Structure 1
Amino acid sequence: MFGIATVLAAIVLSSASGNAGVNVRFLGAGRYTDAGSFDTSRASVEAALRSHLDRLGRRYLAPGQTLNIDIVDVDLAGYLQPWRYGASNLRVVTGATPPRIELRYVLTERGRRTRRGEERLTDINFEMNPSARLSSDRFVYEKALLDDWFRRTFSRGRQDF
């Protein structure tokens, strides 16, 4: 019985170490340009972005790779109009208010650092994204920024259409 348990534990641990993963930290989130303001709790922004980055990691990272991301700043698309009666959490999105995310990252493969960088993600044409325009996701523009960055940075020549 002890031998079977040992073998099963070894299999579980070896498969876990071979999986790709994304670790996200939000640095100084209380000082972000926008996230956590009137209409959006900081926790909901963090949860949505963390979940989305995890999904992207499973899609683009190879087994054995780990991506550590530090989110430095978040500025959501649009601006708030807290002065409107009955609509204090109304976010108005215009072409003049694109989303922006600043981050730092380190990619490791089997414990060895293979890539690192700092990025300031923004897209002044964010309103022209047809899939984003039809979405009801509150953070669709921010997630589209992360999609584009991940695809550009970590796809390793994969074709995604």
Structure 2
Amino acid sequence: MFHLVLPSVVLALAVLVAAPVAHADVTVTYIAPERFRDREFRNSHKRALALAEFDREFEELGSRYLPDGSDLAVEVLDIDLAGDFEPWDFDYRDVRIMRETTPPRMHLRYVLSEGGRVLARDEVRITNMRYLSDPRANRLNGRFSHDMRLLGDWFRKTFFRPADRAAATPGT
């Protein structure tokens, strides 16, 4: 009997492993990034490096927070990175100085759909005025850590499903 069941189980597992998984698809379009408020985007080389980092972050956040089989189209209309350069201090003209008055800001337009049906659509301006006093700020590292934290917080607040909340909260 065992010899008859084993091939069936192996075949079933092979089908499950080979079955395509419907992951969320994230498409990001940067609208005139050379005109973004932040100076980082004025230089084409720096802009390409920065946008590649943002592309990776959008993909990672999409896989973490979006329902399988959904499509998210995001238009990034503006980015003002956390901190600013202070050109009058020649010793540090390439150093981004973080101040409470220079929080990360983004202007986004998005459409979330599934199977051609629009689930959500909005245009938002997001910022974190408390980015330096956030207790999580001390654990951040990376070139755009405050900006990625802002984006991650927005993703979590906007796309985190109630079923995910229950699974993430013990005892519910």
Interval of TM-score (by shorter of Structure 1 and Structure 2): 0.7 to 0.9
- Partner residue, 1:24: 28
Q: Could you tell me which of 130, 136, 139 is aligned with 1:131?
A: 136
Greater helix content? 2
3-state SS of 2:90 partner: coil
State the structure with more CA Rg.
2
- Partner residue, 2:75: 70
What is the CA-CA distance between 1:88 and the residue it aligns to? 2.2
Distance 1:95 1:86 in 2: 22
Q: CA RMSD in A?
A: 2.1
TM-score normalized with structure 2 length? 0.78
Alignment of 1:92-111 (within 5 A): 92-111=97-116
User: Once structures 1 and 2 are overlaid, which stretch shifts more, 101-110 or 83-92?
Assistant: 83-92
Q: Could you tell me which of 86, 111, 117 is aligned with 1:81?
A: 86
Which residues of structure 2 form unaligned runs of 5+?
A: 1-16
TM-score normalized with structure 1 length? 0.83
- Partner residue, 2:147: 142
Answer yes or no: is the 8 Å Cα contact 2:35–2:42 preserved in 1.
no
Q: Could you tell me which of 50, 53, 63 is aligned with 1:48?
A: 53
Q: What is the number of equivalent residue pairs in this alignment?
A: 148
Answer yes or no: is the 8 Å Cα contact 2:34–2:42 preserved in 1.
no
Answer yes or no: is the 8 Å Cα contact 1:82–1:90 preserved in 2.
no
- Partner residue, 2:11: none
3-state SS of 1:127 partner: coil
What is the CA-CA distance between 1:86 and the residue it aligns to? 3.9
Distance 1:86 1:125 in 2: 28
Alignment of 1:144-159 (within 5 A): 144-157=149-162, 158-159=164-165
